[in-house]
Amino acid sequence: MPRALITGITGQDGLYLGEFLAARGYDVYGMVRGQANPKIQVVEDAIPSIRLLEGDLRDLSSLISVLETSQPDEIYNLGAISFVALSFKQPELVGDITGMGVLRMLEAIRIHGSGARFYQASSSEMFGEVQETPQDERTSFHPRSPYGVAKVFGHYTTQNYRESYGIFACSGILFNHESPRRGYEFITRKVTQAVARIALGKQKKLTIGNMDVSRDWGFAGDYVEAMWLMLQQDTPDDYVIATGKSHTIRELLDAAFHFAGIDDWRPYVRQDARFFRPADVNLLVGDASKAREKLGWSPKADFDDLIKGMVSADLENEQ
């Protein structure tokens, strides 16, 4: 039975990946930072066979201990502070966990000498002020947030350990991927929850920031398969994972309100400058040709499927 270790197991991607691997016969270990984490019960309910271990991406010795206990064949580093807006308020914390945490995990692998295959969760936010459209593995990085900068550090660190120490290390440059498990602080879930509450008469207004930015949104459940496929290849490499289609926040509002039975969202939505970022990323759209050709991966859910599923789930939750 292959063994997998997942950092960030309590997050959206960690849950989907844990379920995916458990269904394929993996012995799945999840790393959590302290047993008081309120999301632990959610993880145990979703993945009954999960084994949880205490570790912290800010503490190298704890990572070595986790590796010694789990003895993984594959390591998926999904742990990070992934809310971009927070990175402007706490840049040092985000840099320490999202950036330096990658270095510490790779150092733990090197010191432990486990030979485990390593996946790093890179991000489309690394492209930032995009140099070309669409973006692929050869596109230059120009991050526009402390989060994006930290992800670039983690990405290049992964490449460096692959080239310097022969570690089987891959980075998945994932574009935005959402689901009913997405945190409420992210714009897609903020919108679908508010739309559900407005449709049920429990909320009157939705307040958001920049409505003109455009993102390549896919379904998180599809994207975790790509993570796994990367570690099944003969040679480690980096891959863009995306749908190849971009939508604005206005299009997100159109779809979400439509699926809740409301044709005109304008009376319910207010724009507030407090929600604008100091520096924003205007357009992200990925070219996943390499993943299609080498991994045989392609997204199954489209934008309408994704938003309809999220609205339906939030309507059920609010009812």
Q: What pLDDT, on a 0 to 100 scale, did the predictor assign at position 280?
A: 80
User: Degrees (nearest 5) of the Cα angle 8, 10, 14?
Assistant: 60
Q: What pLDDT, on a 0 to 100 scale, did the predictor assign at position 26?
A: 98
Q: What pLDDT, on a 0 to 100 scale, did the predictor assign at position 224?
A: 98
Q: What is the mean pLDDT of each run of 10 residues along the chain (319 residues)?
A: 97 98 98 84 95 96 97 97 91 97 98 94 96 96 96 98 98 98 94 98 94 95 98 98 97 97 95 82 94 98 97 97
Are 238 and 170 in contact, with CB atoms under 8 Å apart? yes
Task: Give catalytic status of residue 312 as yes or no.
Answer: no
- The CB density around residue 114, as the number of other CB atoms within 10 Å, is 20
Q: What pLDDT, on a 0 to 100 scale, did the predictor assign at position 36?
A: 75
* Alpha-carbon gap, residue 293 to 284, rounded angstroms: 21
* Catalytic residue selected from 70, 123, 171, 246: 123
Domains and CATH numbers, the chain: 3-177+218-241 (3.40.50.720), 183-215+245-285+300-318 (3.90.25.10)
* Catalytic residue selected from 147, 161, 223, 239: 147
Q: What pLDDT, on a 0 to 100 scale, did the predictor assign at position 218?
A: 98
Q: What pLDDT, on a 0 to 100 scale, did the predictor assign at position 282?
A: 87
Per-residue tokens: 207? 């307040």
Task: Give catalytic status of residue 125 as yes or no.
Answer: yes
Q: DSSP character for 202?
A: S
Task: Give catalytic status of residue 123 as yes or no.
Answer: yes
| Bridge partners (DSSP) listed for residue 173 | 122, 240
Instruction: Match 């938003």 to its residue by tokens.
Output: 307
* Catalytic residue selected from 125, 145, 223, 239: 125
Q: What's the one-letter identity of residue 104?
A: R
- The CB density around residue 3, as the number of other CB atoms within 10 Å, is 17
